[in-house]
Chains A and B, each alone.
Chain A
Amino acid sequence: MRLSHKIISSFILVITVLSIVNIFSVIYAINHSQEEKLKGEEVLFAQDLADRFVRDIVEDKAETLTDTLFKDKKLREEMIEYILVFDKNGYLLSNTYLEAIPKQLLKLNNKFSRKENFRLQKIVNRKLFVYDIAVPVREGIEQVGAIHIGFKGIYILQTIKEALAPALVGVFFIIVIAVLFGLFMSETIVNPISKLKDAVAKIGAGSLETRVVIKSADEIGALAGSFNKMASRLEETTALMVQAGKFEAIGKLASGVAHEVKNPLGIILQGVNYLEGVIPPENKDASEVFQLMKDNIVRADNIVRMLLDFSRVDELYMQPEDVSILMDNSLLLVQQIARLGNIEIVKEYQAQVPKIMADKGRLEQVFINLFTNAFHAMPGGGRLTLRSHLCRFADSKYRGDKTKNDYFFPDEEVVAVEVEDTGQGISGENLKKVFEPFFTTKGPGKGTGLGLSVTSNIIKLHGGIVEITSQLAKGTKISLWFKTVKSE
C-alpha cells in the first residue's frame, strides 16, 4: 500500500470515527433534551388536563370527556398520538381513538403511589412508537383516575433529524477537508519521499548520475540535499574505482601476458636477423620488409612495456631532480622532429626552481610522451612552450578543489610545469577520456592510447597532479604540479 493511500485513508478513518461518535452524542443529547421537555412542559400539560377532568371523571361523564379530549388533541395533532382517560378502577373511560384502541394500551399501569406525580415510558412496537406520559387524577389525596398522553416518537425523531442535518453536512465537509489535507500531505511529504525512493532505486540499478530536485527548507529538503551529495560522491568514487580497476587489471594482465608475448617476439626478431643474413642485401624489397618487421616487433614490444608500466608502483627510484633539466633532456631526443616539423620551442623556466623528488627515467619518458603528443597536434608547425615555476598551491591554476586535495595543502609551495602547444586542440568530449587507457584519436597503428594514461599514472606515483585544458583550433595545455624536495 502506498504511503499516500495510507495517510489519506487513516485520515478518513479517524475523521469518520470521530464524526460517528459526535453524531451519536448529538443524538443522545437531543433525545435527552426532548425527554426532559416531555417531563417538564408535557407533564404540566397532562396535569392541567387532569385538573380539568377531575369532575367529569368522578361524575363518570364519558361523553363530555371525549368531546374535550378530541378538542385538546386537535390543537396539537402533529405531536399527540392519543389521550386516554381511566377511572379509579383502571377502566378506560374515554379516548381519542376513532377505531379500535391498540390492546396493549388497555394494559397500562394506572396505579400511582402518593409520591408519584407522573410516569414516562417509551412504547415501541409494530403499530406504535410513542412516549407515554401518565399522570394520576386526584381529588384531594385520593386517586380517582389516570390520564395517558402519547407523544408521537416520529415527531421527536423529526426533531433529531432536523438537528442532525447540519451536523451531517459538517461531517461531510470535515471528510472532504480531511481528504484534501491528506492529498496536501502526500504532495508535501509522500511525493518527495517517493521521488527519493525512485532515485535510490535508480542508483541501485547503476544510474549514478541520478539526482533528486526537491525545493523545500524542511528535513525532506535537507535529506534530498544529503542524498544528492552522497550520489555525487558515489559517482566520483565509482569513476575513480573504475579507473583504478582498469589500471590494476591492465597491470595484472600485462605482467602475465608480457612473458608470453615477449618470448615469441624474441624468436621472431632472431628469425628476422637470421633471414637478413641469408638474403643478399642487394634485394632491396627484402631489406625493406625486414626493416618493417623489425620496426613492428619494436612497436609490439613498446606496447607491452607501456602496459607493464602500470604495474610498477614500487619501482620508482626517486632522487632530487631539476624538472627543467629533465624537460631539456627529453627535448634533446625529440628536437630533430620539432625542427623537421617547423615547430618553435619556447622555454619559460623560472630561475632557481627548487628540485623535486623524481624518477629521472620515468619523468623523462613522460615529457617525451607529452612533447610527441604536442608535435602530433601541430602537423603544420606551431609553437611548443615549456614553463616551470614555483607557486603556492592555492594560487595555482589548478581547476579542481584546491582546499580538499589528496596531494597538496593549499599553503604548500609546489613546482608547476606547463607544456603548451598551438595545435588543433581536443574536443570537450574527448578531453574527458584522454587519461583513459586505450583511448586514442590517432588512426589504427599510430597510437597505443596508453601515453597519457601512463603519464597520469607516473605523475600520481610522484605524488603530483596532472591536468589538461584544451581549446579546439587554439591548442592544448598540460599542467603538472609536483612537491618540492623541501616539503617531502
Chain B
Amino acid sequence: MKKKVLVVDDETAFLRILKLNLEGTGNYEVLTLPGAEDILAQVRAFKPDIILLDIIMSGTKGLDVCEMLNKDPAGCRIPIIILSALDKAADKLQAFKIGAVDYLVKPMGKEELIAKIEKALRPSC
C-alpha cells in the first residue's frame, strides 16, 4: 500500500517536482499544499503517514504548524520532517524541540529525501 505524504511549502515549483519525484517511485501518494492555513482540515481529510514541512513560508510559519499538529489528536502521531534553506544549528535545535523527527537542508537530493522519509516511516521496535 502506498504511503501518504503531505508536503507543505510555499515554493510551488518545488512542490510540483517533489510530487513527480516521490510519486515516480510508485511508493507514495503525495498531496501538496502551498500554505499551511487550513492544514488541520487537510490532515484530517488526507490522513498522511508523514508530513514534509518548510519552516520559512510567507504565511503561517512552519514551526507554528509543527507545534499545532503536535497538539492535535489527529496530527500528533504523524512524523514531521522539516525542509529548510536554513542550516543554523539553532534552527535545527528549535525544530527538534517542538517535535520534528528530522531536518533536511535545501538543496537536498531525491535519494537523500527518500532515505529520510523511509527512516521516519520505519516502525520502531
Contact = CB atoms under 8 A, between A and B. Distances in A.
B90 A315 contact: yes
A318 to B, nearest CB: 13
B21 A274 contact: yes
A271 B14 CA distance: 8
Interface string A283-310: 0000000000010010001000100100
A259 B85 contact: yes
A266 interface: yes
A312 B91 CA distance: 13
Given A259-B56, A274-B24, A277-B21, A269 B87 contact: no
Given A258-B86, A259-B85, A267 B109 contact: no
Given A273-B21, A274-B20, A263 B87 contact: no
A265 interface: yes
Contacts of B18: 270
Contact of A258 (B13, B85, B108): B85
B106 A266 contact: yes
B125 interface: no
A195 B108 CA distance: 63
A279 to B, nearest CB: 13
Contacts of A263: 11, 14, 85, 106
Q: Which of B24, B83, B89, B109 has the most CB of A within 10 A?
A: B109
Contacts of A261: 85
B38 interface: no
Interface in A11-62: none
A355 interface: no
Interface string B97-123: 000000001111111000000000000
Contacts of A267: 11, 13-14, 17, 107
B2 interface: no
A273 B109 contact: yes
A49 to B, nearest CB: 126
A270 B89 CA distance: 24
A301 B111 contact: no
Interface residues of A, number: 25
A269 B24 contact: no
Given A270-B21, A271-B17, A274-B24, A312 B88 contact: yes
A268 interface: yes
A278 B17 CA distance: 13
Chain A: interface secondary structure? helix
Contacts of A294: 109
A266 B108 contact: yes
A276 B11 CA distance: 22
Contacts of A258: 85-86
Among the interface residues A262, A273, A312, A317, which one has the most CB atoms of the partner chain B within 10 A? A273
A258 B105 CA distance: 11
Question: Which of the listed residues A263, A268, A269, A305 has the most CB atoms from chain B within 10 Å of its own CB?
Answer: A263
B51 to A, nearest CB: 17
Contact of B89 (A269, A274, A278, A315): A315
A265 B24 contact: no
A308 B89 CA distance: 12
Nearest to A277: B24
B24 A297 contact: no
A265 to B, nearest CB: 4
Contacts of B56: 259
Interface string A243-276: 0000000000000001111110111111101100
A315 B91 CA distance: 11
A274 B86 contact: no
Interface in B17-59: 17-18, 20-21, 24, 56
Interface of B: 11, 13-14, 17-18, 20-21, 24, 56, 83, 85-90, 105-111
18 contacts: A258-B86, A259-B86, A263-B11, A265-B106, A266-B11, A266-B85, A267-B107, A268-B107, A269-B107, A269-B108, A270-B18, A270-B21, A270-B109, A273-B21, A274-B17, A274-B20, A274-B21, A274-B110
Given A270-B109, A270-B110, A271-B17, 13 more contacts: A261-B85, A263-B14, A263-B85, A266-B11, A269-B107, A269-B108, A269-B110, A273-B21, A273-B110, A274-B24, A297-B107, A305-B87, A312-B88
